[in-house]
Structure 1
């Protein structure tokens, strides 16, 4: 699904050295992040040869990596390659996934008494492959149904950093550049058996034309060729100045990002489409303009010591804009400003032998999310209305299917960036290696992206074939000789809008104990309560699925309420981590508890506030329309159960993992079982008993370090 993120299966984790979690409102350096920052640092240096094999109920993974570190030359080189073969269900050959990744990473440093210069670069390859063939249990005899996809991606990145070792006003300068491209290919073949008489509209321009009738069975093929390319450049300079107990670091920088797809797009025979319901035409991806994001930022981080108190304040401002846009877009030349502030107050320690440390933190910030290419440049909408349908099995030479094609541009030139405001407060406590953190956050967005609705009025002719005798005809009927009746259709269409209103709030908590010496165990407890309220901030056009005299109701209603819901959940995880160095043995036991999840649809009256008549006029919907024999059907029926709260009770699982090191810690063996013990009690929802089941999940892995 476009615009929704990336396939997590394509990410390799074996070359990761550590993962840093940055809490609070993210720095203005990091763009539109709203939920903290996950900073991944990859392995660097060392001279070990590492290998890993992992197998579980769905996949097998092989990895090998090697590091080279020349200390005297201040040079490191790391390489790694892995192969993953995943089968979600081994019994179903349509569900499989293969991945190959490889990377080469190098770093060179130059150092003198005043400066330290470093350059690191990395070259990465990722390939993913799927090959789904016929399943005899699912495909009729003689039919073809296959799907193949491959993705080959290359990326090259480099960072040049200069640091001042004398700690003057100028501290550092960093330049980062990266480029990545991939070759995505999909090939699908399918035997299509239309369930009804269907036409093949092939026109790409509006107007009247004859269309071909699809055969009762045919073989369709589809190729999708994509070649997305991404480029990124970022520059950051940091400066430092201090005054007595006041320490300051200033960060200034900017970044530019470019996205463009140079692929050919969908390639198929329009006379034999892969689906009879297709409403688009082949569109080359390379016809879509490139997206350019430009941003600048400035930030100051201050540390102030007042006796035993310490106050940290980080304040920054980020600007964001889209380039390379037509002047019809309201985003053209528009600059969004995102101010963000984080503050932390470290109180004096309480007590002497085992002092209690308390930190109070808070932050607030705005975040701007630009629409992606699929929202800025949607596909053209093709609407084909049959004006004449004359068909004879006895005399196919007289068959004629005449269609009027309408082509609409559904681009919303008034589409704006989505703006989100988030604030949070946090308290951190620590004593004797026991740590507790509690955070409350709240964020609100009133301009989120969604598929809104608009309507268009289409006028066409309906030709009458009354009186025509196929047995006496020598050719298809001539439109000029036929009588017709003008007809009008109101069509509801999807268009990207800023119509989503989202309110999120929650409490996150984490407690970690010290490692108790007798049982060599540390307890970590974390969890969260979340509540999300979602609704549509704009009225929506809808046509009820009511059939009158053999046709769907021809009027369209405008409704205030649509798609609103409230979702809530509360979960807690308990992790017992036991380390026994004498036995070179480690145990990890986790208890995952989802105490409850609930959802509730917001009330909808089902009564429109207005309606559209056949002339395309928007008129108020009053009691008179509600009593009209036709217009009364615009009132959508709703049932009380649709708006009742649905609550799912506790869902708990116990997972274990055992790790054993052997051969002087050169080899580590691990066995894990997820859902070893599960608690999923039956529950009743609206008089129905819901039964839940769970199956254990086993896996093992072996790591070598030579």
Structure 2
């Protein structure tokens, strides 16, 4: 922190050579010539900006000499880029903004790359979102290069998470490392105690979104706690008419209303919105549903001084009340249901002081708050013909089951017989809050432009949920409480600084950007203590050959490298205490018809790993943007390495308990009708007493059982790599038919091998009836494969026909997957992990075949070494001992064979892939007059039933009802502006 502050003031002490000037003017409506209030003007690539006042006037002081591009934005208007060549004061600039309609000559319905950034970033505007008719934010990301239409028809199937440059099934949870924020608020954090997953976007109101900004490349150092990019959702802000949206598709209906109200002179603007969406899984049985009641309140105001300084204040409150519900389904078992809350509240209060002074361009600060209520309520029917025990004890010892009516606090209860219902709850309520302050200083030293960013932020995260609990403890199954609200909060303090320098040359320009982020994580009361990390990031952009005419009209080369760290989830930080429950005595039915059960419970304390390191990603990117006559080409190559991913292993330790089986009763002299059983809580010795007191009590014989206990320990896994090439070719509009052509695509390759040593044992017993006594240690787990490699090649062709005179836009998008493969891998850097078998019944490796990837052989996976219960410290090489035992010790060979994991098919390691497949989407938008817009879409409107071949199995299948392409879906929407 000290270093960053010193660097900031050291830079500020430099003399900023070069002239600066005043720029002032007015922003007017292009049609009515009425002043436009609350329009923002921002100098691209700097921290300099302002807002217009009630007269539409603006002032920017101390603007450096030279050429600048000013981005002018206002709600309801099309963006305008003002080109300024500042050589003296300019005080009479007039900017005309055109209302955002389909009557404009230029309308964008695709992802637009932010060419001012050195990294790869895109903007998805409101026009594109309306034309696409997305239901959730994740739908909109299908417009990115090489992405394809969401496979979800509605919102009921599962969580819809966003993963940038990755897939959710890969090592390291890339969806968990993708940041999603709305109006500066991080929508989800790390306090999910039950899973490590990404942000579910179903609860985000879609109709109130003004634009979505996506950073897929190396982000600025102001963004932390990530590994895979940033998605920034910006809601409507500013004066707007009353907008009513109605959208209907077979499984989903949406109704929304929004309004931007001007509160009066200098009182600001209040934006209000409400959206209700109901989505069902099946129109034939529309009872399993997801409901979204999204709301938004946003207040904004700006104060202007005569010297050109502007203070803008912004308060936003967004949220949702809704979730999944199957309670009304008459096809389900009577009175059974599942209800999942998806309630959320996101709020922020921020200010932006745009000084535009020689020593400070702007100062931003604010606080954010996020809260979610994700309680799941489930009611199930249960039945049993005999009494069964349910264990709730949390202490070490031997316990006897009893009926709940007799002893409600019994550590083991006897469940009823017949039919009954069980209602369970899983209560998770993550919460996080942030405070931040950052400053920008844009200045010139000679011809060199410098933009310095420095800031700090502090955030805290926790969970207020109760965890899992039951409505009626008399029927609660085996379960132990694990309360999320008792877990310590996690706090993170970050400081960062970033310098961006622009060097102009005669016919070119070089932009260099470098920054450093320092994070310190505090987890008091745990073994983790304080963890610090550094994240350096660099990017560069070189532009040359810019001109308006000729075949070659300019090019930009860009590159970036950066490190990004991801904090662990609570699931990783706080492993749960587990319990080993073993039956100790069960004499069978008693004479009075009751049942007697005694169990031994052995609590296994959670294993915290003080050596756990924070997961991080190394991001590398190189790109090229070329402008030729008639076409604009954009290429982006990336190679990202995810290191120290969060994963888990197990730790086994021996433990013993006493088992008294029914054979011990054979020598008991007390008649069964008069027997009273008791078990010593500490020793586990069973005593039989005569209820009549005639015969002497008798101690039953027992046998010592030698078993294992296991506990989960969270560790860092092996690195994985992701590389790809994204391309976009935007052809100029063919004026004769008002049609533009866009070709985009992506090649993506992932490879991950897990080499974490994972112990495992067999559920079979030894020849003496004891639990299996060996523990095998497998590289990457006890599955046949410990990694996989995928390759995917997507390409899309989009035809957009826009006829401004009739206010209509028509787009046809062809989506093709030319390559889609997955190869299961079994690899180990220290040797061989899996071996070919001559036949499925064999356990020894083949002496003639060694290639497990030939696709026609069964495969066996062996542990690297094993240990015995008698000696847990001596690690015996498995392969060597197994081959020796096959020749010299058949009993040992048979026992070790239980640790051999054999593949269930002969093609497990054959490459899985499909022949190329395609689908097509149709979208039409039409403005009827000034107030009404009608849009229609049909996804996969060919209803493709193309036959494709699976390379792994050799079988052919149809794309009909396949998960490979989006299902046939259609809908219509109406937007009314009043």
TM-score category, normalised to shorter length: over 0.9
SS of the residue 2:672 aligns to = helix
SS of the residue 1:54 aligns to = strand
SS of the residue 1:334 aligns to = strand
Give the one of 664, 670, 673 matched to 2:935: 670
Give the one of 415, 422, 438 matched to 2:635: 438
Cα distance, 1:72 vs structure 2: 5.1
Which residue pairs with 1:56 in the alignment?
249
Q: Is the 1:508–1:527 contact (alpha carbons within 8 Å) kept by the matching residues of 2?
A: yes
Aligned length: 696
Say if 2:435 is the partner of 1:233: yes
Say if 2:332 is the partner of 1:130: no
Give the one of 898, 903, 927 matched to 1:633: 898
Q: 1:523 to 1:551 in 2, by over 3 A?
A: farther
Give the one of 560, 565, 576 matched to 1:363: 560
Q: What CA distance in whole angstroms lies between the structure 1 residues aligned with 2:308 and 2:936?
A: 51
Q: Is the 1:492–1:541 contact (alpha carbons within 8 Å) kept by the matching residues of 2?
A: no
Q: What CA distance in whole angstroms lies between the structure 1 residues aligned with 2:366 and 2:347?
A: 11
SS of the residue 1:292 aligns to = strand
Alignment of 1:100-499 (within 5 A): 100-112=293-305, 113-133=307-327, 135=329, 137-139=331-333, 144-165=335-356, 167-193=357-383, 198-211=388-401, 212-216=413-417, 217-268=419-470, 272=474, 276=477, 280-326=479-525, 328-329=527-528, 332-349=529-546, 352-392=549-589, 394-397=591-594, 399-432=596-629, 434-466=631-663, 467=666, 468=668, 471-476=672-677, 478=679, 479-480=686-687, 481-499=699-717
SS of the residue 2:727 aligns to = strand
Cα distance, 1:163 vs structure 2: 1.1
Give the one of 603, 620, 635 matched to 2:876: 620
Shifted more, 182-191 versus 576-585: the winner is: 182-191
Structure ranking higher on relative contact order (CA contacts 8 Å, 6+ apart):
2
TM-score (norm 2): 0.68
Shifted more, 66-75 versus 243-252: the winner is: 66-75
SS of the residue 1:30 aligns to = coil
Q: Deviations over 1:549-570 (max 9, x none)?
A: 6787442211124431111111
Q: Is the 2:604–2:711 contact (alpha carbons within 8 Å) kept by the matching residues of 1?
A: no
Specify which structure has the higher proportion of strand. 1
Q: Is the 1:55–1:61 contact (alpha carbons within 8 Å) kept by the matching residues of 2?
A: yes
SS of the residue 2:751 aligns to = strand
Q: Name stretches of at least 5 consecutive residues in structure 1 with no aligned partner.
A: none
Q: Is the 2:581–2:599 contact (alpha carbons within 8 Å) kept by the matching residues of 1?
A: no
Q: Deviations over 1:650-678 (max 9, x none)?
A: 2211110111211x231011111111112
Q: Deviations over 1:583-621 (max 9, x none)?
A: 222111111111121111112411212112123344212
Q: 1:390 to 1:433 in 2, by over 3 A?
A: farther
Q: 1:690 to 1:618 in 2, by over 3 A?
A: farther
Q: 1:306 to 1:282 in 2, by over 3 A?
A: same
Shifted more, 180-189 versus 495-504: the winner is: 180-189
Q: 1:305 to 1:74 in 2, by over 3 A?
A: farther
Say if 2:754 is the partner of 1:536: yes
TM-score (norm 1): 0.93
Q: Deviations over 1:47-84 (max 9, x none)?
A: 31101000112110000011123685272221111101
SS of the residue 1:472 aligns to = helix
Which residue pairs with 1:556 in the alignment?
775
Q: 1:411 to 1:452 in 2, by over 3 A?
A: same
Q: Is the 2:241–2:977 contact (alpha carbons within 8 Å) kept by the matching residues of 1?
A: yes
Cα distance, 1:155 vs structure 2: 3.0
CA RMSD, Structure 1 to Structure 2 (Å):
2.5
Q: What CA distance in whole angstroms lies between the structure 1 residues aligned with 2:732 and 2:385?
A: 67
Q: What CA distance in whole angstroms lies between the structure 2 residues aligned with 1:323 and 1:433?
A: 55
Say if 2:798 is the partner of 1:569: no
Alignment of 1:589-628 (within 5 A): 589-603=812-826, 604-605=833-834, 606-615=861-870, 616-622=872-878, 623-626=880-883, 627=885, 628=893
Q: What CA distance in whole angstroms lies between the structure 2 residues aligned with 1:269 and 1:182?
A: 22
Which residue pairs with 1:41 in the alignment?
234
SS of the residue 1:629 aligns to = helix
Cα distance, 1:701 vs structure 2: 0.4
Shifted more, 419-428 versus 354-363: the winner is: 354-363
Q: 1:293 to 1:115 in 2, by over 3 A?
A: same
Give the one of 688, 698, 704 matched to 2:955: 688
